[in-house]
Structure 1
Amino acid sequence: MYQMNPAYIIVLLTMLASWLIQRRLQSKFEQYSRVGLSNGLSGRQIAELMLADHGITDVRVISTEGRLTDHYNPADKTVNLSEAVYEERSAAAAAVAAHECGHAVQHATAYSALQFRSAMVPALSAVSKFMPILLFLGVIMLRTTPLPLGIGVAFFALTTLFSFVTLPVEFDASKRALAWMDKRNVVTPQEHVMAKDALWWAAMTYVVAALGSLATLFYYATLLMGRRRD
Structure 2
Amino acid sequence: MYYYWDPTYILVIIGMLICLGASAMVNSAMSRYSRVRNAGGITGAEAARRILNNEGLYNVQIECLNHSGGDHYDPRTNTVRLSHDNYNQPSVTAVGVAAHECGHAIQHAKGYMPLNFRSALVPVANIGSRLGLPLILLGVILGWSQVLIEIGIWAFALAVLFQLVTLPVEFNASARAVAKIQQYGLLGTEETKGCKKVLTAAAMTYVAAAASAILQLLRLILLFGGNRRRDD
Write the mapping of 1:213-224 to structure 2, written as runs, cut at 5 A.
213-224=213-224
Shift of 1:133: 1.7
Scaled by the length of structure 1, what TM-score is found?
Answer: 0.93
Write the mapping of 1:1-230 to structure 2, written as runs, cut at 5 A.
4-5=6-7, 7-141=8-142, 143-230=143-230
Amino acid corresponding to residue 72 of structure 2 in structure 1: H
Range with greater deviation from structure 2 (98-107 or 132-141): 132-141
Give structure 1 regions of 4+ aligned residues with deviation exceeding 4 angstroms: none
Amino acid corresponding to residue 158 of structure 1 in structure 2: L
Amino acid corresponding to residue 37 of structure 2 in structure 1: G
Shift of 1:77: 1.0
The 1:189/1:139 distance shift into structure 2, 3 A limit, reads: farther
Aligned mates of 1:107, 1:34 — CA distance in 2 = 31
| Structure 1, unaligned runs of 5 or more | none
Is residue 65–residue 83 contact of structure 1 (8 Å, CA) maintained in 2? yes
Is residue 8–residue 216 contact of structure 1 (8 Å, CA) maintained in 2? no
Shift of 1:223: 1.5
Aligned mates of 2:67, 2:13 — CA distance in 1 = 28
Is residue 114–residue 165 contact of structure 2 (8 Å, CA) maintained in 1? yes
Aligned mates of 1:138, 1:198 — CA distance in 2 = 43
Aligned mates of 1:17, 1:128 — CA distance in 2 = 20
Amino acid corresponding to residue 37 of structure 1 in structure 2: N
Shift of 1:127: 3.6
Shift of 1:23: 1.7
Aligned mates of 2:176, 2:120 — CA distance in 1 = 22
Aligned mates of 1:88, 1:132 — CA distance in 2 = 42
Scaled by the length of structure 2, what TM-score is found?
Answer: 0.93
Shift of 1:3: 8.2
* TM-align CA RMSD: 1.6
Q: Secondary structure in 1 aligned to 2:76?
A: coil
Is residue 74–residue 104 contact of structure 1 (8 Å, CA) maintained in 2? yes
Deviations 1:40-80 (A, max 9, x none): 11100100111011111211010123323101111111101
| Structure 2, unaligned runs of 5 or more | none
Q: Secondary structure in 2 aligned to 1:130?
A: helix
Q: Secondary structure in 1 aligned to 2:69?
A: coil
